[in-house]
A = this chain, B = another copy of it.
Amino acid sequence: MNLAASLAAAAAAAAFAAPASAQFAKPEDAIKYRQSAMVVMAHHLGRIGAMVNGRVPYDQQSAVANAEVFATLVKLPWVGFGPGTDKGRETRAKPEIWAEQAKFKEHQDKLQAEAPKLVAAARTNSPETLKVAFGPVAQVCKGCHDTYRKD
């Protein structure tokens, strides 16, 4: 899709869709968006993971940059889980997401609460502090995936 078409699609989405999913023209767009945001988010967290696990040398600048991108991305995917977006494109999202909206949101909130702590930890320039902050973030990811994502 070219830019004009993308913009037109976004405009159409906003103009015609129900408010809760107004950002997306079609469920498949919402699914593609949330999956894309997750891919980018996981990549940047993975960069920090490699560092705290000693697979790549510790580098504060990289830790801060990756944590900051992660903290921005961590806010994004959730709008892509609106009503009616349980199907429309291949997805590993379990139906429980839409059946347990409040519980699903708890996971989102936990993750968003941990992200600024990861940024702050990265800024201290202490590999140990970074590792301590990384653990709970990875746990929140895993907890949500174990519950709401198909294998």
A residues in contact (CB < 8 Å) with B: 2-4, 6-7, 9-15, 22-23, 32-33, 35-37, 39-40, 42-43, 45-47, 49-50, 53, 55-56, 68-69, 72-73, 76, 138, 141-142, 145
Contacts and interface: CB of A to CB of B under 8 A. Distances in A.
B145 A49 contact: no
Main DSSP-derived SS at the A contact region: helix
Contacts of A15: 50, 55-56
Given A55-B11, A76-B40, A142 B32 contact: no
B47 A36 contact: no
Given A36-B35, A37-B40, A76-B69, A49 B142 contact: no
Contacts of A46: 6-7, 9-11
Contact of A53 (B11, B23, B32): B11
A43 B33 CA distance: 8
